[in-house]
Amino acid sequence: MIVVIKKDQEKKQVQNLISWVEKLGLKVHLSEGENTTIIGLVGDTSKVDIDLIRTLDIVESVTRVQEPYKNANRKFHPADSIIDVNSCKFGGNHFQIIAGPCSIESEKQVIEVAMACKKAGATLLRGGAFKPRTSPYSFQGMGVDGLKLLKKAKAETGLPIVTEIMSEEHIDDFEGVDVMQVGARNMQNFDLLKRLGKLKTPILLKRGIAATIEEWLMSAEYIMSEGNPNVILCERGIRTYETYTRNTLDLSAIPVLKERTHLPVIVDPSHALGISRFVKPMSLASVGAGADGLMIEVHNDPAHALCDGAQSLRPEQFEDVVTSLRAMLPAVGKELN
């Protein structure tokens, strides 16, 4: 960490800062120029509160040289992490497709969708039982009953299952769930993250709607620092000023993450744009950008669904996406499963 001191500051103030830093166990390199005094902090600076230093009156600027994340940092773990979910591998040259309905509605629905997804090429099944909704008046999901139906679909199809957890109070009900998803709104629910860090179950950590890449990795760090190394990152669009799309899918984040962390990164194109006809191009774009997988919403019953064309794909549309994906994967050195 490099701290630049403002011109003409009292020596005593500078010395206070140095003493405080040394008490944290860091070595200090002091370089005094005519106009500028620079303090280099050497050691494990992840403990240092950069915001605190930045707000000191004597400080001009602070630059972090070392990233504040350790377990998630590729520097200390150069090889890709391969996360194994019932033999579905995330990371390296593997590619996974998680598919299924947004919400679990009935046994028939979830099993039929699961079968259709499997047939079309999905390697894991998703389905929402606990649904985070902006409005208290919207459907909040089937809850524990939904989890049971999802587990039936797993038994039926053999597909590992992925579903969202919203509160540490529900953790026992998630026994048998293969991947526990933390939604965008809970990315900084630190009590929940710490609790999940005590498990070994793989955690799918969605990016907060306005989270920086660094904050996202720090949330992964919360889970990993408690002992659970199995974190899969999921880009799902960020909030920008643009209104023609619900969110802006930040595919630039993928090569950036690939450089900074060894964790696998997948993309959820269904939620990012909120419009089913954009799922295919953004799925192919994700492959090009280097993603390790996709999470796609599929429903199977257009006759009873509200109308054709909600955010979800019909199975045949999903199959078309999978076919195009397969054709592109060799160009980026990946293969499905």
233-262 positions binding its own copies, by CB under 8 A: 237-246, 248-256, 259-260
Asked if 210 is part of the footprint of its own copies (rule: CB under 8 A), the reply reads yes
What residues between 160 and 189 interact with its own copies by CB under 8 A?
A: 166-169, 185-186, 188-189
Select from 8, 11, 25, 57 the one that contacts its own copies (CB under 8 A): 57
Residue 175 burial by CB count (10 A; 0-12/13-18/19+): exposed, middle or buried? Answer: exposed
Asked if 296 is part of the footprint of its own copies (rule: CB under 8 A), the reply reads no
Helix (H) or strand (E) holding 15: helix 11-23
Chain position carrying tokens 């998680």 = 98
Asked if 46 is part of the footprint of its own copies (rule: CB under 8 A), the reply reads yes
Q: Helix 315-328 to helix 279-289 angle, to the nearest 10 degrees?
A: 20
What residues between 110 and 149 interact with its own copies by CB under 8 A?
A: 132-140
Number of residues engaging its own copies in binding (CB under 8 A): 113
Select from 272, 298, 313, 321 the one that contacts its own copies (CB under 8 A): 272
- Which one, 94 or 154, has the nearer CB to its own copies? 94
Asked if 221 is part of the footprint of its own copies (rule: CB under 8 A), the reply reads yes
Residue 204 identity (one-letter amino acid): L
Is the distance from CB of 204 to CB of 162 less than 8 angstroms?
yes
Residue 327 burial by CB count (10 A; 0-12/13-18/19+): exposed, middle or buried? Answer: exposed
Shortest distance in whole angstroms from residue 156 CB to its own copies: 28
Q: How many CB atoms lie within 10 A of CB 32?
A: 12
Residues making up the chain, counted from first to last:
337
Residue span binding its own copies (CB under 8 A) among the ranges 76-84, 104-112, 118-126, 285-293: 285-293
Asked if 52 is part of the footprint of its own copies (rule: CB under 8 A), the reply reads yes
d(CA 141, CA 165): 12
